A and B are shown apart, each in its own frame.
Chain A
Amino acid sequence: MAALYEGYTLCGLVPAQNLSHSGIQGIEQERDSDHVVVTDSTRSVTLYKVSDQKPLGSWTVKQGQSLVCSAVFNSQTKEYVAVSDNRVIRIWKEEDILLDKAFKATVSSDVWRVHCVHGGEPVVLFQRGAVRLLDSLLSAPQQPIEEILVQEEAIRWSTNIVAETQQFVIFTTEQKGDHFLYLQRLNPNTLQRYRLEREEPGLGPLSFSASYRDKHIHLLYLYPNGHVYQSVVSVRGLGTEEGTQALPLPRSLLLSLPVGEGLLEAASAMVLDEAHVAVVGVPHPSAGAGKDFLCIWNTNFQTLQAGKEMAGKIYGQLWCYSNKLFIPHGKTLSVIPFVCPKSSLASALGKLKQAKTEESKAPASVPSWNNILHGEKAQPSRTVETRKTRMSRKTQSTPSLTTDQVLELIKTAPVEDVEKEVEGLLSRSDIQDLQPSVGQLVSVLVSRSLTDPAFYTPSTLAQLVHTQCLCHSVCPDLVLLALEKKDYFLCQLCLQFFPDIPEAVTCACLKAFISMPDTDAEKASLDPDSVSFMETLISRERGQVGLQNGFSPTSYDEDRSDALSGGGDVIKTGAEDKKTTTAPSELICPMGLHKAVLLNEVLQTAYSDNFLLPHLKDLSSQHVVLFLQYLQFLYLKYSQDAFPQMHGLRSPSLTQIMDWVCLVLDAHFTVLVMTPEAKGLLLNLHSFVKSQVRLVSELGKIEGSLQELNKMKVNKDVGQYSIEIIELF
């Protein structure tokens, strides 16, 4: 899930007197992701090293002159380009101290902006819509500049994008309330003009953001009513002819942001990746009407992923360079790092819906349906870090790899190195910080394992699953991979910790577990809690015979003395051989300990009947009978013994067992009826149902009497004095 990290201040601001303007004209990336050039709204350009929060250089034009647009850095020539007094283009290098002594050229028309993508060539956009590459312009500065825009049409916003090899200048204009989008391709030059659909009358877009992906330019724009639209323009389909006719620009509503009271005034939306949008100046949906928030929304799921309150006035300005958001607010310019990992349904459910449970559980892990529906977490988080690990992390001084480096490493390095590095990474950082990358790590590990049969890192995967930051949709192949590799411990962990395992996968696990030989199962090392639960269950002697849970083993023996002889010895399983003369076969576990433990795990997963049934039908009748025998064994154990001492251990509930019995019977009833081996089993199960029915009817009786008792208990109001008749016997 996307996250905003703790921000820091890059520099102070000198906002306009009435706070209408932040005092910043623009922020452009410099030589690398850690350097930016900040142009203020009057005269100066400052170079900052972001991570150091420190200016490296500053240049100022003379008093009386002013900069019209933000300065850009031409990384090819290591030069800065700025425009002063509308027509004077200035170019200088970092070592130049005085701007006045640097190169100047005056052009013949007013400039709107200079754009320069990183590694690309600077482009000059004139106020009347013409576009020139800087080099060609400087070769003849006084060359005539054509007018593209009509009278009363003015540029509102512009940007520059490189799509594959093509450079585009994109700008929007406004003419008498109509908004147009211009797509200018350079070399060869083409220009396409689109008309934006009108929003409610009087509302013009507040901000634009353009991005290129999959051969399309995506334009995102925000209206004051909180609507965020997206328009997609194919780069390929751009007509070669100069279109003077404005084409209508199709749009889709991407998000409808809550605006609180009134319309948005200073707000801005920015594309972060295909699914995430950063929005500033829009209220937080669960924090009242204040608009000073920076939020990241997931557009696929329409959910709020992260939000942060910004102190002071928001100016509606927002820049984003390499996973850092630059946002002027109040009197500071803050830098806020963020991450937007690939989203899954489970993680995209987002903070909005989680809001109420968020406080209760410390690490924001994968939300489970349980949490959302019932508001409480069933399992305690197991990833409590100890002071010791924290200490050791702090004292670690050896150079360590970043997440990205580890990701790269996983793709090629041998198993041992990968294990070591991932482990190191996990122990170094807070699970919470690491959460986005855990998903990446697992997907990369899984895909490597799938392509490279020799590569498999069971312990690392188990460790990652243990963080509880994962869910099935983040790494859909993990469970099947574990099954394939016969890593049953990992399977167990996944079944335990993933809230969203599809029924098909659950069934695949069930099938694998039932059909595997007991010897295989015993080799696996499983979660000790669940093993000890099964051990106690199996080892327990047949206790005193009593009427518990409405089910009396005595009456059940009488009911089906024939069934015992009929059903007991037909099904050949490993456990059958261990049959002793003292206990009836139903009370002997029909399968090995570990196999049973794994099946218990399946019994405890969440599922939906409708989705599970078709997959259950795939089980062979042999397996169905075995599974039913096991369920019968569990049921008998549960009915026979009082179970209070089992609390705390992970174990399937009686209801879960009954539900599975019903499901399996539903899926295979006709087959079972035809199978002679299953006759005894079916009769037994029939008696369970009977006893449950009896239990329910007894409970009904008790309920009735308790209700009567309740009515009787209406306390007579005894006053200060009364004369009563009593009868003594």
Chain B
Amino acid sequence: MGEFKVHRVRFFDYMPSAIRAMAFNRQSERLAVARADGAVEIFNFSDNYFQEKVIPGQDSRAVEALCWVDQRLFSGGLNGEITEYDLENLKPRYTVAAYGGPIWTISSNNQGTMLALGCEDGTVKMFEVLAEKVQFQRNFDRQKGRIISLSWHPSGTLIAAGMMDMIRVFDAETGHATHRLLVERGVGASKSREVVVWSVAFLSDHTIISGDSAGKVQIWDGVTGTLLRTHLVTKWDVLALSVSQDQSSLVAGTSEGTVIQFQLISSTVGQQDKEWVRTRTFKNHSHDVRALAHTETAVVSGGMDTQLVVRPLLDKVEKNTQESSLRKIVFPHRSLVCCAKKAGLLLFQFPEHLELWRLGESEGHGKPGDSLTVKTKPEKLIQLKRKGEDHICCSALSPCGGWMAYSTVSSVRLYRLQYNNNNIGITKVSRLPKDLCSVHQLCFSSDSSKLFASSSHSSVIVVALNQQECTYLHTLKPKSSSRQPVHLLFASEDGKWLATANTDCEIHIYNLDKLKLHCTVPVYSSYPTAIAIHPLTSNLVVVHADQQIFEYSLEKKEYTEWSRKLQKLGLHSLWLERDTPVTHITFNSRNPAHIILHDMFMFCIIDQSLPLPEAKTLLYNQMTLRSVPEPERIRHSHAFKICKNFQVWSSH
């Protein structure tokens, strides 16, 4: 098959941000996750937990709580504002000040008509949810301490509020407090410290469940206001609670990194009276669990250690299926690295800045398995800090290395890079076409003469670049009426084609010579996670979130023979069981039959000339092939050459 020279780059110092809040939308099976840097991510649980949308953060926005109202997503933060997000354009739609100091919690009633906010100044504020905005309605009786947590009774008539040292129950109609439940402080030294009720849950049978900073999960009778049961679960804080939809199971996240499940079961078999019994403890986090979601089949948890953990409840899923395996989502499901092949440059995208590196060079040759001596070390050429409050949402580097662009939700910046000997000149291109203001994805053409930027309604703006200026050329629009953003762009090597993929799973091919839509690939139900067009055959290769691979001939406008064969045979089960999406596809210039693709843990070279692996074949067969003598290899080899030596962000 062949030898490859691999640059193992470990200086991309990307650090994901801690998870602050979470909200699960049961209808659409979308999980919204807010991170400490203000970014909000949407995961699609029905499509292999793919991270389908990312709304970049903002310096001033610290999201403390998230809340779905139907398909609308609201957040409240320590800046005291309510934000509704525009999930089509991946940016905040509007913000409304609540005038109550930092907002600690936000909660909507079951009917989706009201939002209740818990504020620092001790008020519970009610906002009415209108079609286009939210409108302040009134304040509840003001309390002495801050309101840390809120939970509506499913009927919408009562609200439980967790505060310092107590829980208040409010009548949602009158705004008066009806009950005061005193929460006991911790023992010992913490006796003198106020206990914080970090989380409350109000169940339909008027049971109130609270989690507090003294490590207790307490069950209260909301009708009489009496304490029914105390479970001391940790020495530290119980930070988050989440109740299953049928209200028979409850999870509590602690600052020890554990998630503890309680279930409503009768203590003795056959008896009617059920009680909350501590059943399971999950330990998948190294630090505080700040946010929890209880889905139908799993417990989703996130916290300071930045990873999102989906822990299936084994009594709810079928054993030994893909659904029953634990999933940890550590890194973004999109590429934050851009590579200028010809120039040997790498562009790293951070929320705050960009880094441009030149790869090192090696000398001589080596045997497989060797590390070559690095003649010139990699060099950081530019660290470019972004301007403004908004975090970077996408970036691109031209293949020649002469252009660099990034975008935030509010603006696009384009830079001209010039290299003479060891000096790098960077010049901002000052006058950009005004259409180029809010884009979701950037991409340069292979000859670096054009910049493609995806914009609203799945359109793509084409901008022509020459020495000093850039001019607007055209806006490519799909025939469909999709309002979803384009999240993948790929310009073919020969400059003829541009492929786009949007979050409606549509893939459009544009002919760049004619600047018009060439065709639309039949829509497949799963998200495309990576697309690429073969430089010689002009076949489009698409990999989806469910790990399926398709090859589509642009000329014939149909799936290729190989693709059909692959679909007919089916992909190997081990391939389908991988839990990170393929984020990048490229091709081997020396062998046109090679498709190179990678996910987080491996890269794979698909040799289209070799037979496909069947269900019984060993998928990860490189070790076997290495150990058998040359003539026998052909018997064992198959199309998928997988190398797991590296964790992969990008490949070219």
Q: Could you mark each residue 1-39 of chain B with 1 if its beta carbon is under 8 Å from any beta carbon of chain A, else 0?
A: 111111111110000000000000000000000000000
Q: How far is the CA of A728 from the CA of B596 in the complex (A)?
A: 12
Which residues of B lie under 8 Å from residue A726 when comparing CB positions?
Answer: 3-4, 6, 368-369, 643, 645
Check B385 for interface membership: any CB of A closer than 8 A: no
Asked whether any CB of chain B lies closer than 8 Å to the CB of A723, the reply is yes
Q: Does the CB pair B369–A728 fall under 8 Å?
A: no
Contact for B371 among A720, A724, A728, A729, CB less than 8 A: A724
**Choice from B2, B372, B378 contacting A727 with Cβ under 8 Å:** B2
Q: Which of A716, A719, A725, A729 contacts B372 (CB 8 A)?
A: A725
* CB within 8 Å of A: which B305-361 residues: 360
Report whether A725 and B374 are in contact in the complex, using a CB–CB cutoff of 8 Å. no
Across-interface contacts of B10 in A (CB, < 8 A): 718-721
A-side contacts of B377, CB under 8 Å: 721
Docked CA distance A535–B283 (Å): 44
Determine whether A722 belongs to the interface, using a CB cutoff of 8 Å to chain B.
yes
Contact pick for B368, options A716, A720, A727, CB 8 Å: A727
For B1, give the chain A residue with the smallest CB separation: A728
Residues of A within 8 A of B366 (CB): 725
Q: B637 contacts which chain A residues (CB < 8 A)?
A: 729
Question: In the bound complex, do residue A724 and residue B370 qualify as a contact, i.e. CB atoms below 8 Å apart?
Answer: yes
Q: Are A723 and B360 in touch, CB under 8 angstroms?
A: yes
Report the minimum CB–CB distance from A713 to chain B (whole Å). 15
Question: Do the beta carbons of A716 and B371 come within 8 Å of each other?
Answer: yes
A39 to B143, CA, bound (A): 80
Bound Cα distance A728, B625 (Å): 9
| Contact of B652 with A by CB under 8 A | no
Residues in A with CB closer than 8 Å to B11 are 720-721
Docked-complex contact A724 and B8, CB < 8 angstroms: yes
Contacts of A721 in B (CB 8 A): 7-11, 360, 374, 377-378
For B636, the closest partner residue in chain A by CB is: A729
Nearest CB in chain A to that of B624: its residue = A729
B634: nearest chain-A partner, CB-CB: A729
Query: Measured between alpha carbons, how far is A17 from B463 in the docked complex, in Å?
Result: 107
Asked if B195 lies at the interface with its beta carbon under 8 angstroms from chain A, I say no
User: In the complex, which residues of chain B have a beta carbon less than 8 angstroms from the beta carbon of A728?
Assistant: 1-2, 4, 605, 622, 641, 643
**Cα A718 to Cα B11 with chains together (Å):** 12
- Chain A: residues with Cβ within 8 Å of the partner, total of 13
Interface 1/0 per residue, A697-711 and B, CB below 8 Å: 000000000000000
CB of B597 to closest CB in A, whole Å: 14
* Shortest CB distance A636–B (Å): 38
How far is A721 from B372 in the complex, measured between Cα atoms in Å? Answer: 11
Cβ of B362 under 8 Å from chain A: yes
Q: What CA separation (Å) do A718 and B626 show in the bound complex?
A: 23
B357 to chain A, nearest CB (A): 9
Structural contact, A725 and B4, CB atoms closer than 8 A:
yes
> How many of B's residues come within 8 Å of A, CB to CB?
33
In the assembled complex, which residues on chain B have CB atoms less than 8 Å from the CB atom of A729? 1, 622, 625-626, 633, 637, 641
Bound Cα distance from A727 to B626, whole angstroms: 9
Cβ contact within 8 Å between A724 and B1: no
Q: How far is the CA of A349 from the CA of B641 in the complex (A)?
A: 69
* A255-B378 Cα distance, complex, nearest whole Å: 78
Residue ID in chain A nearest B363 by CB atoms: A723
Name the residue in A723, A726, A727 with the highest tally of chain B Cβ atoms < 10 Å from its Cβ: A723
Could you tell me the distance between the alpha carbons of A17 and B246 in the complex, rounded to whole angstroms? 84
Bound CA–CA A729/B621 (angstroms):
9
B2 neighbours in A (Cβ, 8 Å): 727-728
What's the nearest-Cβ distance from chain B to residue A551, in Å? 30
Residue B616 at the A interface, CB < 8 A? no
Residues of A within 8 A of B605 (CB): 728
- Chain A minimum-CB-distance residue to B9: A721
A720 surroundings in chain B (CB, below 8 A): 10-11, 378
Query: Hey, what's the 0/1 contact readout for A634-677 against B, CB within 8 Å counting as 1?
Result: 00000000000000000000000000000000000000000000
Complex: A155 Cα to B368 Cα, angstroms? 98
A727 to B369, CA, bound (A): 8
**A716 — nearest CB in chain B belongs to which residue?**
B371
Using Cβ atoms and an 8 Å threshold, which residues of chain A touch B643? Answer: 726, 728
Cα–Cα distance between A722 and B368 once the two chains are bound (Å): 14
Q: Is the CB of B5 within 8 A of A725?
A: yes
Question: B367 near A: Cβ within 8 Å?
Answer: yes
B4 near A723 with CB under 8 A, answer no
Asked whether A723 lies within 8 Å of B372 as measured between CB atoms, the reply is yes
Please, which residues of chain B bring their CB within 8 A of the CB of A719? 10
Least CB distance, A715 to chain B, in whole angstroms: 13
CA gap between A725 and B7 in the complex, in Å? 9
A725 touches B369 (CB 8 A): yes
Q: Report the separation of the CA atoms of residues A725 and B374 in the bound assembly, to the nearest whole angstrom.
A: 12
Q: List the A residue with the shortest CB-CB distance to B12.
A: A720
Q: How far, in whole Å, are A510 and B125 apart by their CA atoms in the complex?
A: 89
- Nearest chain B CB to A428 CB, angstrom units: 42
Q: Across the interface, do B6 and A723 meet the contact criterion of CB distance under 8 Å?
A: yes
Contact A724 B372 (CB under 8 A): yes
Q: Which residues of A contact B4 (CB under 8 A)?
A: 725-728
Closest beta carbon of chain B to A212's beta carbon, Å: 65
Residues of A within 8 A of B9 (CB): 721
B54 CB, min distance to chain A CBs, angstroms: 27
Cβ of B622: which chain A residues have Cβ within 8 Å of it? 728-729
Residues of A within 8 A of B378 (CB): 720-721
Contacts of B641 in A (CB 8 A): 728-729
* Separation of A723 and B376 alpha carbons in the complex (Å): 11
CB distance from B378 to the nearest CB of A (A): 5
Inter-chain pairs besides A721-B377, A724-B371, A725-B371, 14 sampled, C-beta below 8 Å: A718-B10, A721-B360, A721-B374, A723-B362, A723-B371, A723-B374, A724-B5, A725-B367, A726-B368, A727-B2, A727-B626, A728-B4, A728-B641, A729-B1
Residues of A that sit less than 8 Å from B by CB = 716, 718-729
Task: Please list 7 pairs of residues, one from A and one from B, whose beta carbons are closer than 8 Å in the complex, sorted by A's number.
Answer: A720-B378, A721-B7, A721-B11, A723-B5, A725-B371, A729-B622, A729-B626
Q: What 9 A-B pairs have minimum CB-CB distances, sorted nearest first?
A: A727-B368, A729-B625, A723-B362, A728-B641, A728-B1, A723-B372, A722-B8, A725-B366, A720-B11
